[in-house]
Amino acid sequence: MDLNLNEAGKHPTVFGYCIVESAEKSSPQDGFVEVSATVQVIGSTQEGEIDPLPAEMIEFARYGFEAPGTSTGEFPEQTQGTTGV
């Protein structure tokens, strides 16, 4: 799905049914989990449009860049400010 609206005022999307063929999970660092998966599309994907999403959902998807040390606390209850890094 494209977060930007098209000329019709809707979000362009691609839909498809998938089967998960395999999934692997690893913990490369403490507190982080890496997941990789292979999916098989059943048939073919279909292009379409959906009505505009609420602003809060768009903001969540576009949370933006955050440099290391610019906030403290656990996501999503972070506070802005230097962590001393």
Instruction: Please write the tens of the pLDDT for every residue from 25-63.
Output: 998 777 788 999 999 999 999 999 999 988 888 887 777
Retrieve residue 4's tokens: 């930007």
Pairing of strands 71-72, 46-50: unpaired
pLDDT at residue 85 greater than cutoff 70: no
The residue that leads in pLDDT, 75 or 73, is 73
Average pLDDT along the chain? 84
pTM for this structure? 0.51
Amino acid identity of 43?
G
The residue that leads in pLDDT, 64 or 35, is 35
- 73 phi and psi angles, rounded to 5 deg: 100, 175
